[in-house]
Structure 1
Amino acid sequence: MLRSRWCPGPAGGRLGDRAAARGVDSGARGRPSGPLLVSVTDFTSDTYRDLPGIARRGFALRRRWPHLDGAVGMWLWTIPSARRCGSVAVWTGQRALAEFVRLPEHVAIMNRYRRRGTTRSVILEYESLDTARIRRDAEAWLMSDDHRRDAGETPRRMT
């Protein structure tokens, strides 16, 4: 799996994992009390030829990340040999995630590629920002269906 660098959002603060590990607030400014939401998306393209366009649009959308209210941080990831790509995004709450999903750029990507592959996603909750744990959990979820595919089973569809 290839992964982009962590892209911090305006709600991410500067303390990150070390502060969370010591029980100190993660530094997420303006964050309401309650859990952080982590959105993990997995798109499997029907063809290899769509991957460059998806990557270009994904990185263009990522440039907006540092300016999105409620965005804590994110990674983009890909497994080119499996025609798969997606993101792991950390949000201060449901409202921030919903506002992102409605962004015109996000809607345009989804409209263009939704029927050209299979999308699955999951929302995970965390009480504090621990990027190492979030990454491990996201990768475990992303790889969980690989074993099912290899066994000829139908992958889960989570949205």
Structure 2
Amino acid sequence: MLRSTWHPGPATATTALIAITDFHAHRRRDLLSIAQAGRDLAASWSTLPGAIGMWLWAMPLSGRSGSVSVWESEEALTAFVRWPPHVQVVRRFHQSGTLHTHRWWTQEFTHPKAWKEAATHLKT
């Protein structure tokens, strides 16, 4: 698995909502443009209200890619999902694969703990 560096957001919190997106591309050749779209969104991460931070990840040989994002609230995550640049990406690639998501709350957010639990979900 390939993983980006941590992209910090403007928010900080100990209690946090962690969300995984796991996109299974129908064609591996689409992964490069999907990854670029993810990097473009990540470039604005530091300005997103309620975003604590995120990692991008990819498993190129299995045609999977996505993110592990960390939020201070459900409302902040919902605002991101409705954010026009994100909506554009979803519309652009919605027929290119299948999206799986998972989310959970943690009472003691740390980078290592969050990534370890996320990686467990991504191995399935």
SS in 2 for 1:115: coil
Task: Within 5 Å, give how 1:103-122 maps onto structure 2.
Answer: 103-122=83-102
SS in 1 for 2:119: helix
Answer yes or no: is 1:42 the counterpart of 2:22.
yes
Residue in 2 that maps onto 1:89: 69
Q: Distance between the aligned counterparts of 1:99 and 1:46, measured in 2?
A: 28
Instruction: Give the Å deviation of 1:128.
Output: 2.1
Q: In structure 2, list runs of 5 or more residues that go unmatched.
A: none
Q: Which has the larger radius of gyration?
A: 1
Answer yes or no: is 1:57 the counterpart of 2:37.
yes
Residue in 2 that maps onto 1:156: none
Task: Within 5 Å, give how 1:2-151 maps onto structure 2.
Answer: 2-12=2-12, 28=13, 35-144=15-124
Q: Distance between the aligned counterparts of 1:93 and 1:128, measured in 2?
A: 14
| CA-atom RMSD in angstroms | 1.2
Paired residue type of 1:68: L
Higher RCO (Cα < 8 Å, 6 or more apart): 2
Q: Distance between the aligned counterparts of 1:49 and 1:130, measured in 2?
A: 34
Instruction: Give the Å deviation of 1:142.
Output: 0.9
- Identity percentage of aligned residues: 40
Q: Higher strand share goes to which structure?
A: 2
Q: Distance between the aligned counterparts of 2:42 and 2:7, measured in 1?
A: 8
Q: In structure 1, list runs of 5 or more residues that go unmatched.
A: 13-27, 145-159
SS in 2 for 1:124: strand
Paired residue type of 1:137: E
SS in 1 for 2:32: helix
Alpha-carbon deviations, 1:116-143, whole Å to 9, x = none?
Answer: 1111001111012211111011010011
